[in-house]
Amino acid sequence: MTVSAESTLAGRDRLRTALMLPLGIAAAVFAALLPLARVVLPAQWMPGTVALVLLVLAAGFLARRAGLAALAVTLIETGVWAAFMMLAFLRDTALLWIIPTAGTADEVMQLLATAAEEITYGAAPLRAGPALAFLIVASVGLLTVIVDHVVVTARMPLLAGIALIAVSLIPSIVVPDDVDVVAFVLLAASILFLMRVDTLSRQAPAARAATRGAGIPATAVGIGSVAVVVTLVVAPALPQPVARSLPGGVNVGSGIDATLQLGDDLRRPREVEVLRVHSSAPLPPYLRATTLSTFDGAVWLPDEDETAVLDDETAMEPVSVPADVRVEEYTTDVSIQSLSSTWLPMPFPAVGVSGLEGDWSTVPYNRTVVSDGARTQDQDYEVTTQVPRPTREQIRADVAAPDGLSPELTQLPDDLPAIVEDLAIEVTEGTTNDYDALIALQSWFRGPEFRYSLDAPVEDGFDGTGAQAIAQFLDQKEGYCVHYAGAFALMARALDMPSRIVVGYLPGSSTTDAIERETVYSVSSSQLHAWPEVHFDGLGWVSFEPTNSLGTPTSFSAALSLAGPDSGGTEAEETEETEPSPTPTLLPEEEQNEESGEALGTTSGSDDALPALAVIAALVLLLAAPAALRSVRARRLLLAARRGDAAAAWLVVQDTAIDLGIPVPASDTPRTLAARLAQSHGAPEAAMATLADALERASYAPSGTIAAGDHDALADAAAASSAALLRNAPVARRILAVIAPRSLVMRPGSAFAGAGTHARA
């Protein structure tokens, strides 16, 4: 092959390598963003993000091909980012659509403030408005500029990978959910690809083949494996944070998921106290957050009806029932302890709220209260309710008919499994009115055939409320509140009764405190609950409690038992036939220890230490992981050296120098670096000369090989030089080199490796 042909092939090889880096960066950035799409619906921000990432990387690639300096490349990429953001979001305040003005700065601040409010007070999955889309697109664009600089200019792809992994984990931390394994695998593969391409781009063509077996891919796989362990094993075992107010009014911690994906919330390893409540009602009330009326066959969607401004002391519409139905009025005081939510927990049916701070609105359709920029955390408020108390005869005479109501309240999916309607007809056979039919359904769900379980849905793959999940629940007869509520609501609709689902909290557990002779109840995060409601023409929405072994079942008393002023049934605070109901069961019976008041699922004594010990052990392993990976890498490099790999032997010495903070700049030739390490850092001159000679022969000699008899001498020289560098280094630096080896993230010849100890500044 001629010199010209070799030069052409080398040029093509360099072009291919240079092109692979931005492509790998784009793939890694997009993989890191996939989990975000589950928290913020992607329709409004994903197209702009994709376009901006590709434009920034294309500009950087072309600038480097033109031979521009690294700083100029970064400035050009930043300029492309700024121009795109101006044209896409800020052109109305700019000169010629691209030149920013004072109005542009004001617009940016307004967009950021609005985006912060959407994040703080919104509920996942968020629908991104212009402000949130602006924030996401701008942030991802800047992240792309930074990652491109770190990977291509600073030559530290692993450091960029760590940043991308952190970005990908943020959505799961903010809204706890299962790890998106597909997205994480794609991200890990992209990072490993970047590391490999970076390694190839730094080597001369003759040396590339020599370093293929030097342990670099194995080291990258090891680091990626540790990251997978952290994501899939350690992170879910860590305690959930307690909600607290942060400066600026941002809240973190427990929230309310109104999409009925409550399984993870109920299975959290650590409970937190959400709120405290005391009431003048005979029983502590259920507290609703919102209602869900629309079912598309896969999920129940929160109601989004028109709202009205709710001012302090402003009363809602009074409850309207027939004149012969008794209505009793109660007051309930709620104190939020650890809750960040758009919706305010409220007893039902509310007719007035006082004591709230901030701007709130009421939804007349379901008598709930939602945020207009305020926050639930630290709120103390009083709710007035008017509770209808019909007799059993009165509610039996009423009908649950859909006349005059929205069609969505009786809508069923076309592919509804037959088991839903068949069982609804079978269970209610023989009943003569709607109330008795619903009581028959409730009693069936709470009977011996069904069992409350948080684990069975996960094991058998129906952890949700889709039509197929409900069919499987009805067949297996094991699940938790969302399955019971979803099945009851669909079976009621199959009987042509309007129904919806409520998301909120159980009444809580009694404490030793009392305010104005009213017992204070504590509501925890594990008491997040869902229950169904059915609409009766005269009485309005009536709650039912089908969840087996949880809460108190609905039942109204006969007319003769209502002679006393303190007796009778309630709608949300249900009673047994003719006597006041006991305090509602707070946890599933199989998970509650009545004598000690502790859930059986919560371990005590020495068992409490097991999760903590597991986390500590995992953290110890993580802290030891860098040293272990560094040791594995060194051994593989030495094994490669014993097979005649001069580049691997040289990397042994370079890595040790980087770990000790000794500069390893790209400008140093092997001879120059060998001489400096021998003269200034105690490396043996003969061994360093052996390594430099071998590397030069491998890179420039026609054969590029080393005699078999010299292989052991090559490995011994590398090991001796590395040991001498460690031995002659200060003790503190030697210890740091062992426990935090920087060679895992700094490559020889990179900007930071070239700066040596100054890289830490």
pTM above 0.75, yes or no: no
Q: Is the per-residue pLDDT at 503 higher than 60?
A: yes
Q: What is the pLDDT of residue 337?
A: 86
Q: Is the per-residue pLDDT at 217 higher than 60?
A: no
Q: What is the pLDDT of residue 584?
A: 36
CA distance 111 to 135: 8
Q: Please report, rounded to a whole number, the percentage of residues in the chain having pLDDT higher than 90.
A: 20
Neighbouring C-beta atoms of residue 628, cutoff 10 Å: 12
Neighbouring C-beta atoms of residue 382, cutoff 10 Å: 14
Using a CB cutoff of 8 Å and minimum separation of 24, what contacts does 75-81 make? 77/144, 77/145, 77/148, 78/145, 80/55, 80/56, 81/52, 81/56, 81/138, 81/141, 81/142, 81/144, 81/145
Using a CB cutoff of 8 Å and minimum separation of 24, what contacts does 460-465 make? 463/263, 464/260, 464/261, 464/299, 465/260, 465/299, 465/300
Mean pLDDT of the chain: 77
For range 129-144, the mean pLDDT: 89
How does residue 183 score in pLDDT terms, banded at 50, 70 and 90? confident
The amino acid at 196:
R
For range 316-342, the mean pLDDT: 88
Q: What is the pLDDT of residue 379?
A: 87
How does residue 614 score in pLDDT terms, banded at 50, 70 and 90? low
313: left (phi over 0), alpha (psi -120 to 50) or beta: left
Q: Is the per-residue pLDDT at 702 higher than 90?
A: no
Number of H helices, E strands in the chain: 24, 22
- Would you call 95 helix, strand, or coil by DSSP? strand
- Domain positions in the chain are 10-202, 263-602, 623-760
For range 446-464, the mean pLDDT: 76
Dump pLDDT digits (tens) for 360-407.
888 888 888 887 666 777 889 999 999 999 999 999 999 998 888 888
Q: Report yes or no: 305 and 293 within 8 Å, Cβ to Cβ.
A: no
How does residue 494 score in pLDDT terms, banded at 50, 70 and 90? very high
Dump pLDDT digits (tens) for 668-685.
888 888 888 988 888 998
Q: Give the count of alpha carbons within 13 A of 209, CB side only.
A: 8
The amino acid at 296:
D
Of 240-249, 404-413, 453-462, the poorest mean pLDDT is in 240-249
CA distance 114 to 129: 9
Neighbouring C-beta atoms of residue 103, cutoff 10 Å: 13
Work out the burial of residue 150: count CB atoms within 10 Å of its CB; fewer than 13 is exposed, 13-18 middle, 19 or more buried.
buried
Helix-, strand-, coil-residue percentages of the chain, each rounded to 5:
50, 15, 35
List of residues 6+ apart from 386 with CB closer than 8 A: 318, 319, 327, 328, 329, 349, 351
E strands, 419-483, where? 451-452, 478-479
The amino acid at 540:
G
Per DSSP, the residues of 235-304 read HHHSPPPPPEE-TTS-EES----TTS--HHHHT-SS--EEEEEEESSSSPPPEEEEEEEEE-SS-EEE--
Dump pLDDT digits (tens) for 526-548.
888 889 999 999 899 999 999 98
Q: What is the pLDDT of residue 280?
A: 92
Q: Phi/psi of residue 641, each to 5°?
A: -65, -35
For range 209-221, the mean pLDDT: 47
Q: Is the per-residue pLDDT at 235 higher than 90?
A: no
CA distances from 297 to 290, 471, 731 (A): 20, 12, 66
CA distance 620 to 598: 31
CA distance 744 to 657: 12
Q: Phi/psi of residue 82, each to 5°?
A: -65, -45
Q: Phi/psi of residue 372, each to 5°?
A: -115, 35
CA distance 21 to 148: 9
Dump pLDDT digits (tens) for 562-585.
444 333 333 333 333 333 333 333
Positive or negative CA dihedral for 21, 22, 25, 30?
negative
CA distance 682 to 129: 62
CA distance 686 to 705: 20
Q: Is the per-residue pLDDT at 210 higher than 50?
A: no
Neighbouring C-beta atoms of residue 414, cutoff 10 Å: 6
Pairwise pLDDT comparison (358 vs 718), residue with the higher score = 718
Q: Is the per-residue pLDDT at 747 higher than 80?
A: no
Pairwise pLDDT comparison (314 vs 161), residue with the higher score = 161
Neighbouring C-beta atoms of residue 476, cutoff 10 Å: 16
Q: Report yes or no: 290 and 303 within 8 Å, Cβ to Cβ.
A: yes
